Amino acid sequence: MLTHAKPLAAVTGALALAASLTACGGSSAASDEKVVTVYSADGLKGEKGDGWYDKVFADFEKETGIEVKYVEGGSGEMVQRALREKSNTQADVIVTLPPFIQQAGSKGLLQKYTPKGADQVDGADKAADGSWTSVVNNYFGFIHNKKELPEAPGTWEALLDKKFENRLQYSTPGVAGDGTAVLIKAMHDFGGQAPAMEYLKKLQANNVGPSSSTSKLAPKVDKGELLVANGDVQMNFAQAKSMPNLAIWFPAKEGGKPTTFALPYAAGLVDKAPHSENGKKLLDFMLSEGAQREVSAVGGGFPARKDIKATDANAIALAKLIEGVEVFEPDWADIDENLSSYVDAWKSATGS
């Protein structure tokens, strides 16, 4: 069984709240509003209102009277939106996957706030400067349609087979967190940027094309429109409740072991958030013992707090799923610094 390598880039989920904002973002009128606005990567909200966010937000609203306004998109997309709004901030909290939480920090989009319970989050799963912390731990993975393709392809090389032509799709690197993860894993598994791009250039012959959202790929796999797509363990495990043909797998390089890496949902309080105090309350709530105990049972993810030992049926199934899979730790500082050049190399290799 694999040793649970530190789920890396976790995000200090600071919920920044944006309510009926006027041009003067952060006014005293706005700060008094009982609202908090969350910009988040997709995956934690259920397709049928049965996800971790659905439960946590409803409980939070009931306990505090603060309404959660929710905006969803790809990880990179949410950071770009917050950047565009920097002069008139709309979001209070941003939740995104690495390396985009680090990008949000380096671009000055986050303010320092340490939520209650963050002392129980591993040091590698939160920012040293207190600007973000992990709220749900997670791992990168792929999915296949187990009805039409009972056995997972197993290797990257197997995906080059003609049977996957126009039946394979992965979300867009640089836009979606899980799409960027395809690059990170390929560079790790193939031993560097050049061999990874050489492989992805070949894979492009089978790739359907760009997708800004990873969560939209799972329904296509479930219906058999696609045989294979990328994803992540938490999101796909949760989706499988209503999509019975989904199965999770982890590609290996031919002759090697299947690999994955931690891809946590990291949360941070947005700089100049119009409802900072409400954002802080939401971040505290997401890291509370009660909310963390529901990460696996309701959300199909891994608790961010190390003092929460989940023993529910989902937690047992999730542990079994990643048994025997090698977990590596990406160099997030390098990825944050060089992401645009890696994405440019991918665009050049694939003609995207």
323-351, pLDDT tens digit by residue?
999 999 999 889 989 999 999 999 999 99
Q: Mean pLDDT in the chain?
A: 91
For residues 131-145, average pLDDT: 97
Residue 49: predicted pLDDT: 92
For residues 67-92, average pLDDT: 96
Outline where DSSP puts E strands in the chain. 35-41, 67-73, 93-96, 110-111, 133-137, 140-145, 168-169, 228-232, 246-249, 259-260, 265-270, 302-303, 326-327
With beta carbons less than 8 A apart as the criterion, state whether 278 and 39 touch.
Answer: no
Peptide bond into 7 cis (omega under 30): no
| pLDDT digits 0-9 by tens, 202-218 | 999 999 999 998 999 99
Exposed/middle/buried for 38, CB within 10 Å: 0-12, 13-18, 19+?
buried
What is the Cα–Cα distance from 18 to 32, expressed in whole angstroms? 11
pLDDT of 167 above 70: yes
Would you report the helix, strand and coil content of the chain in percent, each value rounded to 5?
40, 20, 45
N-terminal to C-terminal alpha carbon distance within the chain:
38
With beta carbons less than 8 A apart as the criterion, state whether 173 and 160 touch.
Answer: no
pLDDT of 261 above 90: yes
SS3 category, 248: strand
pLDDT of 23 above 50: no
| pLDDT digits 0-9 by tens, 47-67 | 889 999 999 999 999 999 999
Residue 12: predicted pLDDT: 29
Q: Which of 221, 235, 305 is nearest to 41 (CA)?
A: 235
pLDDT of 277 above 50: yes
| pLDDT digits 0-9 by tens, 282-308 | 999 999 999 999 999 999 999 999 999
- What is the value of pTM for the model shown? 0.83
pLDDT of 29 above 90: no
Residue 124: predicted pLDDT: 84
Q: Which residue has the tokens 């009926």?
A: 20
Q: Which of 295, 327, 325 is nearest to 311 (CA)?
A: 295
